[in-house]
């Protein structure tokens, strides 16, 4: 069963559910915060496995460095959900390679192990075209990550081309109108996270596309008159890492650093288990 982040069905436009008979109740209020009562799944096993031999060390280094250095600039990954997908080997390899290319300099500086970021970046860009016909959320995020990397490296042509492609795919997926119709609140925590992921991707793409429009003098790819997307939830609520304890308690903290947070949670759980 595909994970909530990689589910291909999530790429289709929202099915309209507007009904004039729908009562204006609190259940249909436009609230971006996570609805009360949603159950956050346990992450105890996944956290331990992330720091074990189950995850490739190079992948773990890239993910850890990304959250330490780039996540504040591009918070389009839900920390605990993405870690779970890494552990389950459920992340598209092209996205992992994009993260490795982005963090190559930091990994080299921190570990002394040379990572050829240029070669990785060229490999990712050469493979992007093969995913166009069947894009996934991971693919769109790969475009966003590579766009920001190109901007940091002063590759202006790639910077502009990649963000135009990302904006076109966001429109094709219908994420620019995700909130056009009133919908019932999410029934599960995964559904809420999935909606927030789409909003975060959209607004980063929109901001970057608008910035490139000002720099180059071209028109924006995303027309503001067709945008129906609410702002995402607050960073405070998004960055929180929750784990349900044996007695229903929640342990909570925030990024940065997500990796330090996850290690802390594992240590706390181990202490509780031993006690």
CB 84 within 8 A of CB 242: no
Q: What single DSSP character describes residue 17?
A: -
Neighbours of 210 (CB within 10 A): 16
CA distance 77 to 138: 10
| pLDDT at residue 235, rounded to an integer | 79
List per-block mean pLDDT (blocks of 10 residues) for the chain, which spans 275 residues: 42 37 40 69 81 91 92 88 92 96 94 94 92 88 95 91 94 93 86 92 95 91 92 79 39 41 42 46
CB 201 within 8 A of CB 169: no
* pTM, rounded to two decimals: 0.76
Count, residues in the chain: 275
Cα distances from 257 to residues 91, 261, 264, 269, in angstroms, run 21, 6, 11, 19
What the block records as the tokens of 108 is 């080299």
| pLDDT at residue 119, rounded to an integer | 96
| pLDDT at residue 31, rounded to an integer | 53
């Amino acid at each position: 069963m595909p994970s909530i982040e990689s589910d291909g069905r999530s790429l289709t436009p929202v099915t309209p559910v507007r009904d004039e008979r729908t009562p204006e109740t609190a259940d249909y209020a436009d609230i971006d915060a996570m609805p009360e009562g949603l159950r956050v799944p346990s992450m105890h096993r996944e956290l331990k496995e992330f720091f074990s031999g189950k995850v490739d060390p190079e992948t773990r280094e890239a993910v850890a460095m990304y959250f330490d250095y780039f996540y504040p600039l591009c918070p389009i990954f839900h920390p605990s959900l993405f870690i779970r997908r890494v552990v389950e080997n459920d992340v598209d390899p092209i996205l992992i390679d994009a993260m490795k290319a982005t963090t190559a300099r930091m990994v080299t500086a921190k570990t002394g192990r040379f990572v050829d970021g240029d070669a990785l970046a060229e490999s990712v860009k050469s493979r992007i075209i093969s995913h166009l016909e069947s894009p996934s959320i991971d693919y769109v995020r790969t475009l966003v990550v590579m766009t920001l990397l190109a901007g940091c490296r002063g590759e202006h042509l790639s910077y502009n081309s990649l963000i135009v492609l990302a904006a076109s795919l966001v429109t094709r997926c219908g994420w620019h109108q995700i909130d056009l119709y009133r919908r019932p609140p999410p029934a599960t925590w995964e559904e809420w996270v999935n909606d927030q992921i789409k909003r975060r991707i959209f607004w980063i793409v929109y901001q970057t596309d608008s910035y490139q429009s000002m720099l180059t003098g071209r028109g924006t790819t995303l027309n503001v008159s067709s945008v129906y997307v609410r702002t995402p939830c607050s960073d405070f609520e998004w960055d929180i890492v929750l784990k349900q304890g044996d007695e229903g308690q929640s342990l909570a903290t925030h990024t940065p650093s997500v990796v330090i947070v996850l290690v802390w949670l594992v240590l706390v759980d181990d202490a509780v288990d031993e006690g």
